[in-house]
Amino acid sequence: MSTTVTKTRTPATEGRTVPSHRAPAPGPVRKNPVPGILRRALTGGAALSWTAIVVVPIYWLVVTSLRSKSDFTSDSPLALPSHPTLDSYRTVLDGDFTTYLLNSVVVTAGTVVIAVAVALMAAFSIVRNAGSRFSRVSFRVFLLGLAIPLQAVIIPVYLLIIRMHLYDSLLAIVLPSAAFALPITVMILVSFLRDVPRSLFEAMIVDGAGDWRMLWSLAAPLARPALMTVAVYDGLQVWNGFLFPLILTQSGNKAVLPLALTLFKGQFGIDVPATMAAVVLSTLPMLALFILARRQLVAGLTAGFSK
Amino acid sequence: MAAPALLLFGLFGLVPLIGVAALSVARWDGLGSISWAGLTNWTSVLTDSATWQSLWLTVKVMVVSWLVQTPIALALGLFQAPRGRLRALFAVLFFLPLLLSAVAIGLTWQALLDPSFGIGATPGLHWLAKPLLGSPELALYTVIFVIAWQFVPFHALLYQAGIRQIPTALYEAAALDGAGPVTRFLHITLPQLKYTLVTSSTLMLVGSLTYFDLIFVLSGGTGGPGTATRVLPLSMYITGFQAHDMGRASAVATLLVVFGLGLSLLTTRLSGFTRMDSQQEGM
């Protein structure tokens, strides 16, 4: 069994594995070919099985969304739709989908702008005043923040939002989401700004620049790749966030997409293809983001934790 | 300039941390006024067998998830680490679950595992036509599987990044010493991945305390069937926002906070891990 896996995999990987100095895993293949094959068979086998586990549900999701209601009960689940149709998508789009989409866009954009702007200021100040006690304490606060689970503090957040008269508004989602995006955003920006040579800042000080000018004309442009990374990462988290919208909003016209999906489920009931079409539609913007900014997305996911 | 960030985070992150402990000794239905309740919430929470069952389920989800996800993520990380076009294609496929919201994943799997119209209706796959989410014995394990489906890609990414940082020189030296692949894996790869293993495990263990969205959707908001998947965060939600007993729910939430902070301290201590450790000992 392992040999079949290796046979199919070897020609493809053999020629293309660049002997890069950062890719140690293949080892000295020439001297020790058999164990190399064994290792590849094991990891390759795991990779192939996991690929099937990942791809089958996603394939099923897409083909189901293209089936008609009647074909859904008669077609074999994994077969291609016998009469492919976009009816389910029409059903979803004829509903309030655009309202939910717009809510999600507003919430995501608002959160990302607030979180990134505020975090950049904080990171700049923490790095610039690295010696000061205030700066060290601020850093600690955000470090601690990484360990605070959202679920555990949702009740006091709910109370705060009610007292601030923000309940059932989009701002009620934006503010806490931005707050909880801050720890990781600040961490990533701090670790990036730390590498900016001090002499650049000092040169600006000699030119008479204040903190604000240094922030906007030096730190921000230099940190652009890091800013992109955190913006994309925060955006993904907020777009997919469920708990804040669930607890802090109530009206249908304030629902963001993840919450709306649960509403669709109730509304469409047994119309599974329509629910699946809604799932696909709600994911498309993130798929587009993934295609356009894959590097930033991957960097964002690992930046905070591996280094 | 750090002020706005500290204010925002202080207001919604730190104040609620104290607030949750304060509310745990209060009586509040979520709408009316808040009054002092003393320790009644705590005595009722701690003497209720449902709390302990939730806690047990939470621990079970945590341990089984770790046991399931770690080997798979490590294997996938090992597979993805060498650069190559085919591997890159696989990496893109593995990545897809990370783009979906927990709600989208929950709804998809719920429909996919439907005993009548789900994947079990495929010829050859009838053995899957079981009430995987509907039976009290199977539901928790099904949930754990779907959780793995959602989170394994992220941990595989962590391992991939960790593996790529191991200096090749270590492998070259080991090869000169005649070390076989098993020896190399056990004596170079694994020890060098210590930091990644600790990070990934901490995120997994602490993260598993907070699995909410997915279980909420998979169980239709009940933590069911019965209470078969009612982990602590769901128990908190149901107590607070469905039974309108915010005080009692806050006590459960406080348990979560304590449990979570304790756990992250414990994992970092036990592994003897500090950020100052050289990753390249012996180089």
Pair A180, A290 in one domain: yes
Contact A35 B182 (CB under 8 A): yes
Determine contact, residues B151/B204, Cβ cutoff 8 Å. yes
pLDDT at A307: 41
Of A21 and B174, more confident: B174
Residue A209: half-sphere exposure toward Cβ, Cα within 13 Å: 17
Is the residue at B247 inside a domain? Answer: no
Determine contact, residues B185/A32, Cβ cutoff 8 Å. no
**CA-CA distance, B167 to B155, in Å (whole number)?**
21
Contacts of B222 (CB under 8 A, 6+ apart): B230, B238
Is the residue at A165 inside a domain? Answer: yes
pLDDT at A305: 59
Q: Which residue from B200, B279, B272 is spatially nearest to A305, judged by alpha carbons?
A: B200
pLDDT at B275: 45
Pair A281, A135 in one domain: yes
Pair A151, A108 in one domain: yes
What domain range includes position B201? 63-229
Gap between the terminal Cα atoms of chain B? 42
Is the residue at A186 inside a domain? Answer: yes
Is the residue at A77 inside a domain? Answer: no
Contact B112 A42 (CB under 8 A): no
Pair A175, A219 in one domain: yes
Pair A160, A125 in one domain: yes
Pair A112, A169 in one domain: yes
Is the residue at A81 inside a domain? Answer: no
Gap between the terminal Cα atoms of chain A? 37
Out of A240-254, A270-284, B262-276, pick the least confident. Answer: B262-276
- What integer is the mean pLDDT of B131-159? 93
Is the residue at A82 inside a domain? Answer: no
Per-position b or e across A247-259, b if 16+ CB within 10 A of its CB: bbbeeeebbbbbb
Is the residue at B104 inside a domain? Answer: yes
- What integer is the mean pLDDT of A241-270? 91
What domain range includes position A47? 2-65
Is the residue at A84 inside a domain? Answer: no
CATH code where residue B115 lies: 1.10.3720.10
Which residue in A has a C-alpha nearest to residue B253's C-alpha?
A152
Pair A102, A240 in one domain: yes
Per DSSP, the three-state class of B89 is helix
pLDDT at A36: 66
Which of A42, A65, A153, A164 has the most B C-beta neighbours within 10 Å, making it the best mutation to test the interface with B?
Answer: A153
Cβ contacts of B103 on chain A, cutoff 8 Å = 240, 242, 258-259, 261-262
Record the pTM.
0.87
Is the residue at A280 inside a domain? Answer: yes
Contact A155 B240 (CB under 8 A): yes
Number of domains within chain B: 1
Is the residue at B42 inside a domain? Answer: no
Pair A227, A164 in one domain: yes
State the DSSP H helix or E strand holding residue A94, giving kind and residue range, or none if neither.
Answer: helix A87-94
- What integer is the mean pLDDT of B140-169? 92
Which residue in A has a C-alpha nearest to residue B101's C-alpha?
A240
Determine contact, residues B219/B89, Cβ cutoff 8 Å. no
Please report, as a single letter, which amino acid is at residue A304: G
- What integer is the mean pLDDT of B136-151? 94
Q: In terms of C-beta density within 10 A (0-12 exposed, 13-18 middle, 19 or more buried), how is residue B44 classed?
A: middle
**CA-CA distance, A264 to A282, in Å (whole number)?**
12
Pair A248, A110 in one domain: yes
Out of A200-204, A301-305, B226-230, B265-269, pick the least confident. Answer: A301-305
Determine contact, residues B65/B208, Cβ cutoff 8 Å. yes
Pair A100, A162 in one domain: yes
Number of domains within chain A: 2
Which residue in B has a C-alpha nearest to residue A248's C-alpha?
B241
The pLDDT-based confidence of B230 (bands split at 50, 70, 90) is: very high
Contact B93 A51 (CB under 8 A): yes
Paired tokens of A207: 């030119």
With 70 as the cut, is the pLDDT of residue A23 above it? no
Percent of chain B at pLDDT exceeding 90: 51
Pair A131, A19 in one domain: no
Give residue-wise pLDDT tens across range A54-106.
Answer: 999 999 999 999 999 888 888 888 888 888 999 999 999 998 999 999 999 99
The pLDDT-based confidence of B282 (bands split at 50, 70, 90) is: very low
pLDDT at A12: 37
pLDDT at A5: 35
- What integer is the mean pLDDT of B64-89? 89
Query: What is the nearest CA distance from B252 to chain A, expressed in angstroms?
Result: 8
pLDDT at B272: 54
What ranges in B120-231 are assigned the alpha helix state H?
A: 139-164, 168-176, 181-184, 190-192, 194-208, 213-218
Is the residue at B4 inside a domain? Answer: no
Angle in degrees, 0-180, between the axes of helices A257-268 and B102-112, rounded to the nearest 10: 30
Give residue-wise pLDDT tens across range A4-20.
Answer: 333 333 333 333 333 44
Paired tokens of A44: 């390759």
Is the residue at B192 inside a domain? Answer: yes
What ranges in A96-197 are assigned the alpha helix state H?
A: 97-128, 133-145, 154-163, 170-193
CA angle A73–A75–A80, rounded 5-degree value: 135
Is the residue at A41 inside a domain? Answer: yes
Pair A116, A264 in one domain: yes
Is the residue at B180 inside a domain? Answer: yes
Is the residue at B206 inside a domain? Answer: yes
Cβ contacts of A142 on chain B, cutoff 8 Å = 5, 9
- What integer is the mean pLDDT of A172-186? 95
Strand partners, B35: B27
Mean pLDDT rounded to a whole number for chain B: 88
